Amino acid sequence: MVSDAEQAAGAFYGDHGPLCVLAAAVTVLASIFLAAIEYFKPVGKRRAKNGTLPKLPPGPAGVPILGTLATSLKRPPEPPSNPFQQLNSLAQYGEMATVHIGSKTWIFLNSKRVVAEIIAKRGSATNQRTPMPVSSGIISHGDRRTVLMMQEDWAEPRRVMHSLLTGSQMRQYGEWQELESTQMMAEYLLKPELWHRHHYRYANSVVHRIALGERLAKSTRELEDMQNCVNIFVGNIGTSIVDWLPELARLPRWLQPWRPHWERLEQWNFRVYSEWWVPTRDKVLAGTAPPSFVRDTLLHPDTKYKGSDEDAMYVAMQLIEAGSDTTREALNILVMAALEYPEPFAKARAEVDRVCGVGAEARLPTLADMDSLGYIGAMAKEGLRWHPIFNTTPDHAASKDVEFEGYYFPTGVGFVINQVLVCNECENPEAFVPERWMDGHELDITHGLWQFGGGRRICVGYRLAQRSLFINIARLVQSFNFEANGPYNPKILNLESTGEPFPVKVSIRNEHYAKLIMAEAEKAGVVEDAKMARDKL
């Protein structure tokens, strides 16, 4: 028997059937949407584990689920008159700005003061990375890109890499740095128009020798492959939506249509790495390898890396990647500064002349001159400040809740150094003024400069980088003149380019310096190598 109520319902559905289906569909979609909002809620909007509500600095508004992702992924072109407009605009929120991007929450640190407080003083609680399933996962052969590694995967690579920061091997590395620099001077002399290539060969060869034990003897194709590995890795950091909504990586593989594209890149990268790694590893195993980080730390029985052979390869190769491109770029920046600001370069030359002699009496500067050439140290720091290589540094995520000046940052929030603002936090920031670093710390490249990051994740190569910049700046200002060789925009450095990044005419100071360089190259036994590099390029 049908009740009155059932009869009424039947009549209602009979009359309003399509409307009911629509209402049900809307309800289902709305529920899915609300569930998605909840699921992808940015870390900084979730309650902390102890139930405390986050209290974050102000920042730009975003839309549900994506936050500011649309603008972050597809940045409007920034005008050459104001590059880094977006990072600059975060200054309006004060020393810290909160940005929700997908399900991540990043706190941009806009002043040196808060960087020191959060990244350095609270470093034990801010040394994680937020997950990047594509950049540090798929492209990096499964969470193995040292620079982006999460803490649990990072402790072991960091342990082995730490030897690069300790003093004991610096003397050996220093000899290699001087030798490669002598070759670079000879290359500059023989083929001045390829100045930028010489920077790359130098940087790559030094770190190649430190990591793998041998001087660089790679073909142009192999070198370009390696540079492309870096470009592809760096260029793709954060370009996939999955890096911003890492929860998507938990879907079954067949629901991840983005994977094949990234996996192909990863396979190519793996092949390039293997070409460089396998011969070295085999020599170490056969007992015929020369001294190197791989032989004496990574595969040494006393300090051996506790991971697979593939993991060890990624540690070694990423050292080469992280160390060569950065040094090359820093040298390019100094050349740009030479075009724009001749006075500091004249002053630097006078300083080198005072210490190393002039004309027929001159000798090449060495690393032993460092204490007497503070201005050169200041130039290296000012170059990195004036045109930061990193406009932001990889995030340092909170491994536990962090309280700071009335704010409450829950675990998982990422802290990012806004280098554009931090580097400009000085008088007349547009100008290249090495004098601003002449404060007694000019040879400590991380003092007051955050280009190498900080805290527990600080760059493991910063001492090597400082010495490479020192020796090459000192020698270049001593012997070569730099002039513009065509129009260029000083704000655009084309740092990722393998061709000439901006037009430069390099010339030798005079015949004395040409002779000096060739005599030193002869003594070091690198003349033939310098010529070979010249012929190959």
Task: Write the DSSP string, 193-262.
Answer: GGHHHHHHHHHHHHHHHHHHSS-----HHHHHHHHHHHHHHHHHTT-SHHHHSGGGGGS-GGG-TTHHHH
Q: Does 216 engage in binding with ligand HEM (CB under 6 A)? A: no
Q: Does 161 engage in binding with ligand HEM (CB under 6 A)? A: yes
Rounded CA-CA distance 483/503 in Å is 9
Residue type, 374: G
Q: Would you say 312 and 305 are in contact if contact means Cβ atoms under 8 Å apart? A: yes
Binding range to ligand HEM, per CB under 6 A, among 157-165, 299-307, 360-368, 503-511:
157-165
Residue 100: strand pairing partners:
105
**Residue (of 267, 204, 199, 277) closest to 232 by Cα position:** 267
Rounded CA-CA distance 56/49 in Å is 16
Helix (H) or strand (E) holding 376: helix 374-386
Residue 392: strand pairing partners:
418
Q: What number of CA atoms fall less than 13 Å from residue 444's CA on the CB side?
A: 6
Q: Does 393 engage in binding with ligand HEM (CB under 6 A)? A: yes
- Contact with ligand HEM (CB under 6 A): which of 87, 107, 330, 373? 330
Helix (H) or strand (E) holding 345: helix 342-356
Helices first, then strands: H and E counts in the chain: 18, 8
Residue ranges for the binding site for heme? 459
What is the size of the binding site for ligand HEM (CB under 6 A)? Answer: 29
Q: Does 326 engage in binding with ligand HEM (CB under 6 A)? A: yes
Smallest distance from the beta carbon of 269 to ligand HEM, in angstroms?
16
For ligand HEM, give the closer residue by CB, 296 or 520. Answer: 296
Site for ligand HEM in 25-54 (CB under 6 A): none
Binding range to ligand HEM, per CB under 6 A, among 234-242, 303-311, 326-334, 371-379:
326-334
For ligand HEM, give the closer residue by CB, 66 or 458. Answer: 458
Smallest distance from the beta carbon of 470 to ligand HEM, in angstroms?
12
Q: Is 429 helix (H, G, I), strand (E, B) or coil?
A: coil
For ligand HEM, give the closer residue by CB, 151 or 481. Answer: 151
Binding range to ligand HEM, per CB under 6 A, among 40-48, 49-57, 156-164, 177-185:
156-164
Smallest distance from the beta carbon of 118 to ligand HEM, in angstroms?
11
Rounded CA-CA distance 99/61 in Å is 8
For ligand HEM, give the closer residue by CB, 206 or 516. Answer: 206
Binding-site string for ligand HEM from residue 434 to residue 473, where x marks contact by CB under 6 A and - marks none: -----------------xxxx--xxxxx--xx--------
Smallest distance from the beta carbon of 229 to ligand HEM, in angstroms?
15
What are φ and ψ of residue 505, in 5° steps? -105, 120
Q: Does 313 engage in binding with ligand HEM (CB under 6 A)? A: no
Rounded CA-CA distance 96/205 in Å is 40
Smallest distance from the beta carbon of 169 to ligand HEM, in angstroms?
11
Site for ligand HEM in 336-375 (CB under 6 A): none
Q: Does 132 engage in binding with ligand HEM (CB under 6 A)? A: no
- Contact with ligand HEM (CB under 6 A): which of 118, 245, 322, 339? 322
Binding range to ligand HEM, per CB under 6 A, among 101-109, 250-258, 279-287, 322-330:
322-330
Q: What number of CA atoms fall less than 13 Å from residue 121's CA on the CB side?
A: 10
Rounded CA-CA distance 491/514 in Å is 32
Binding-site string for ligand HEM from residue 492 to residue 531, where x marks contact by CB under 6 A and - marks none: ----------------------------------------
Q: Max Cα separation, the chain?
A: 117
CA 135 to chain centre: 13
Q: Name the site residues for ligand HEM (rule: CB under 6 A).
A: 146-147, 154, 158, 161, 164, 207, 318-319, 322-323, 326-327, 330, 389-390, 393-394, 451-454, 457-461, 464-465
